[in-house]
Chain A
Amino acid sequence: MVKILLLYISLFSAPLLGQVTLQKQLELANNLFEDSLFFDAITEYKRLRYFDRAKEFDFISNFNIGLAYKAGAKLDDAARYFVSADLATSIKSEKYLAQTELVKVNILRKTTTTAFKLIDQMETSFPNKIDELKYWRGWVFMFDDNWEAASIQFSRIDTSHSLKLLSDRVQNDKYSVILAKGLSYIVPGAGQIYTGNYLSGVLSLAWNLATGYWTVSAITDNRVFDALMVGNLLFLRFYNGNVDNAEKFAIENNLKVSNEALLYLQKYYRGIKP
């Protein structure tokens, strides 16, 4: 009787080994992932997903495929798999992990509107993670080039948060576009000088003075046609050009300041990054 039972068990327990196989497959994929062999790791996670009919490893495989794609800068693919990972689980902590990664991917690909929406939803679903979500909202603001809002977000976590200080510094280093334009309206060339483009500022001032003088001199000599011609074709061209240039220089410089800050974060920031 016992022999029959043992034989029966040995025959029918074979499929149970499938569980062991999938577990081993997960280990293989994990090892490849840990060795930064992301292409192969993705293949093996996909193999695991395909043969895991019970979808027992669905979350971990999707999540790690997402991470591997993210490591390879394939952000759209990564986002797709983090969404799948989120849908594959009902465990709250896993959902939080997947959604957080989705936020990070959206930060990296600068789809900040989506990132903000996701954080809004997460604040409702995960009220105990508010501080962490504030942190990621701060990052979204930084990538959205809104350093003032980023500073406010980080100060809500800690008033001397290193990222708050960095955001403040960037905000201070940036030029006011309105001020640059305003200065140029009042004194031609002043906007360029304010943004550090001294030669352009001086040249602009000289052209505006010369053409302005010709225009005024034509008016005082009652040469109306000359005044209109020189005023419209030369003076206004240089005057408007001076204002446009001031705006352009301010925007260019601000972009440079922002990019340098983001580069600094990428290279030297030691905290949690997207």
Chain B
Amino acid sequence: MTTEPATQVTSRGEPITEASALDGSKGESALVVEHLTKHFGERVAFDDVSFEVGYGEVFGFLGPNGAGKTTTVRTLGTLLAPTSGSATVAGIELRPENGSAIRSRISIMPESPGLYLRLTVRENLECFAGLYELDDVRARIERALRAINLEDRAGDQCGSLSKGLRQRVALARALLNDPAVLFLDEPTSGLDPVASREVHGLIASLRERGVTIFLTTHRLEEAERLCHRVAILNTTLRLIGRPDELRDQLFSRSLDVRVRSPLEDPTAVLGGLPGVKGWAHAPSGYTLAVSDPEIAAPQVARALVGAGVDILSIAESRHSLEDVYLELIDEDVEARRR
């Protein structure tokens, strides 16, 4: 997926950036990763990872603890040197000599906000504006604070803020330099549901503004809700695609049929129906493997009515991203046992 760079705007319609992505980024991918590998001595952090992320895309990077998600982010952020493979980050080749240039075009929000707790919100942002050598610091800080709805807490010491508010300040800090790619590493880790929802809202608004986001998480509902595409990593990249594509890839499509009383001869009623590939008993009815639920459902309904059965419901089985994830991780666990 490749989209054009978008201009970020705050919730009040003001631009945070003049053009979030950089001039050379138009039509290119924000991230191109090819066979990237990172070892720490004998230990493999991640191995042979390849993917592309387009500008304006929200890309979810899922995996269990220790799968290599944070190490991947740190490697792409030039904090760690890859063992092998190559990558292009925000249009710049990942090489040691390009470290400073890459870091000036991206932002990473680590799992821990890492704010200076004795400094105020504004002082924290001033420090980072200086590190990025930004112009018009005061206006930028005002806009970043407005974007996260924290203008009224600018003078507060960060140590006095709740965990959720600190996470929002960290997000403002990450937005200060108008990054071409924004890496969010477990942004809701350790937050309560209300604070998580606030952070989700902010990420969703960034997505609407066309900010390219690389989101690592093990919260699957978060990825499903926020990401255009997701990749599942468990040291190696296991799957990549849109959440619905992944579901289709791993699970056959099926219908859940609930009836008041069981059929006397299910094979006779359901067996020969067009589009129905098989059936199985389910707790309150049947699960039918189908090629296309929209074609099969009316046929099934007619056949059941014809057989004099009371239908309670016919619905397509919905496999969540969690089902996909667990299926893959279970496969890995099984493979390791063997």
Q: Do A and B come from one complex?
A: no
Give me the interface of B with A, judged by CB distance under 8 Å.
none
